[in-house]
Amino acid sequence: MTTVGATSSTPRPQPPLTMIAHSEEGGDVIGNEHGFFTVHNAGGINTFTNAGEHVGTSTALANSYHSTVGNCQVFVVNNGDDVPNILVYSRNTIAPQGVVDERSEYFVTLYNGRSFTQIWRQKLYETSGFDQTSCGLKPSWNITEDTRWAVINGMSMTRPGEGAMYIVDTASGSSKVIEQASAAAAGNFIITESYTNDISVLDPSTLAPIRTAAYTNGGSTDYSNLGSIVGNGINTAFDATRVVMTSTTTFSVLDVRTGAVSSSAIDHDGNSYRYAIDAPSNSAYVTTDDGIAALDLATMQQKWSAPARFSSFCGASRDQVLVTTQRQDALLSAKDGSQITYSDELNQCGAIFGDYMVLSTFTDGTSVYQAFGGKP
């Protein structure tokens, strides 16, 4: 086992579900296949390679934002070298000055994920008086699938008391403003819902509409699909154009660009579908009445099904599917659902980055496990 913080080379693939690294530093985990961060309001931000080797620490950023719950204030951006960069949404409060009221300034800043040096910093807006802006706003912010554009819910600088959406270019820090509308990222697009309830899919580089779903007679199915994305503020995209849409009766994929929807006809247990997706192999793994089924996302046809008792999906690779079972984690074959191995020591899902799964808490630190790619 490699201890996080050691200056060793990237660990070789170990048997799956084997711990390969551990750190005493813990917190909320964000990242991608190139690396990850643990974010702790009191303990700062730590960078790791995707295999768990410690890269750097910043305590200076620990108090530059007021919450990290649910990826509210911090995102990773894929424009680093061998580790991602980190994007931070922060507030600077300026105390009252005599008869001048308190003000809050809101910034978004991109830091190098290895050195934590500032790459750029952009002021978006400011508010007067005591401000309670928080993650309670829906959506507080989210980011496109390619991490090029961040969508931030803020306040208008030209319409007092009204909200505004800021579309930030993560490469340069420049921003565009959308007034009198809600917005959210979906794939590599921006979806907006105007105050007149019309919904549009926009090109984030120009904010030009690609298509619009008008609100007429309650709205179409396409209108409802796009509206649910804006309302939830959760980007369930798994590539540049496709978004997962689930309900108690269907597992569907929406093409944001065209509006086309493809759905499965798999029976399941009546609860909302649980699923895992491996985009490179164009495969989805979903719950059924008595286990698990594999879908070809190109056709939404079932490739295979297998009985299996499990609680949730952790993730999937081209060859393997990781699930949480009855107080255990199990690794299944993506070819037929047969069990490859299981762990008595693991009983929960963690964040998946490439071939690794990361479990991190404020009290127990961070542990990195070989999730995929290892030999049983």
Coil/strand/helix, residue 232: helix
Tokens representing 148 are 């090029």
Instruction: Identify the pLDDT of residue 370.
Output: 93
> What are residue 143's DSSP bridge partners?
150
Looking at the structure, do residues 183 and 210 belong to the same domain, yes or no?
yes
Looking at the structure, do residues 75 and 198 belong to the same domain, yes or no?
yes
> Is 27 a domain residue?
yes
* Side chain identity, residue 88: V
**What size, in residues, is the chain?**
376
The residue out of 203, 226, 249 marking a domain boundary is 226
Instruction: Identify the pLDDT of residue 12.
Output: 58
What is the residue-wise DSSP string for 171-207? TT--EEEEESEEEEEETTEEEEEETT--EEEEETTTT
> Is 129 a domain residue?
yes
- State the Cα angle at 22 between 20 and 23, rounded to 5°: 155
Looking at the structure, do residues 114 and 13 belong to the same domain, yes or no?
no
Backbone angles phi, psi at 26, to 5 degrees: -135, 180
Looking at the structure, do residues 195 and 175 belong to the same domain, yes or no?
yes
Looking at the structure, do residues 208 and 167 belong to the same domain, yes or no?
yes
Q: CA 212, 217, 222, 225 torsion: positive or negative? A: positive
* Side chain identity, residue 340: I
> Is 279 a domain residue?
no
- State the Cα angle at 60 between 56 and 65, rounded to 5°: 110
Coil/strand/helix, residue 225: helix
User: DSSP E strands: which ranges in 239-374?
Assistant: 242-246, 251-255, 261-263, 275-278, 283-287, 291-296, 301-307, 312-316, 320-324, 329-333, 339-343, 351-353, 356-361, 365-370
Q: How far is CA 229 from CA 162, 212, 215, 335, in A?
A: 21, 14, 16, 32
- Asked if 293 contacts 224 with a C-beta cutoff of 8 angstroms, the reply is no
| Predicted model pTM | 0.86
Centroid of chain to Cα 365: 21
Instruction: Identify the pLDDT of residue 216.
Output: 72
Looking at the structure, do residues 8 and 119 belong to the same domain, yes or no?
no
Looking at the structure, do residues 50 and 117 belong to the same domain, yes or no?
no
The residue out of 209, 226, 243 marking a domain boundary is 226
Looking at the structure, do residues 203 and 69 belong to the same domain, yes or no?
yes
Domain count, the chain: 2
Beta-carbon neighbour count of residue 353 at 10 Å? Answer: 26
> Is 19 a domain residue?
yes
Can you give the residue range of the structural domain that contains 33? 1-62+350-376
Looking at the structure, do residues 221 and 145 belong to the same domain, yes or no?
yes
Instruction: Identify the pLDDT of residue 278.
Output: 95
- Asked if 18 contacts 370 with a C-beta cutoff of 8 angstroms, the reply is yes
For residues 62 and 41, give the distance between their C-alpha atoms in angstroms, rounded to a whole number. Answer: 5
* Side chain identity, residue 199: I
Using alpha carbons, select from 304, 219, 338, 198 the residue that is nearest to residue 330: 338
> Is 299 a domain residue?
no
Q: How far is CA 162 from CA 159, 165, 282, in A?
A: 6, 10, 42
Looking at the structure, do residues 80 and 220 belong to the same domain, yes or no?
yes
- Mean pLDDT by 10-residue block, N- to C-terminus, for the chain (376 residues)? 41 80 88 87 82 87 46 69 84 82 86 92 84 49 89 85 89 93 92 90 96 78 84 79 82 92 74 82 89 92 88 93 91 94 91 92 90 80
Looking at the structure, do residues 79 and 218 belong to the same domain, yes or no?
yes
> Is 325 a domain residue?
no
The residue out of 207, 226, 245 marking a domain boundary is 226
> Is 79 a domain residue?
yes
Looking at the structure, do residues 193 and 107 belong to the same domain, yes or no?
yes
Q: CA 34, 35, 36, 37 torsion: positive or negative? A: negative
Centroid of chain to Cα 319: 23
> Is 72 a domain residue?
yes
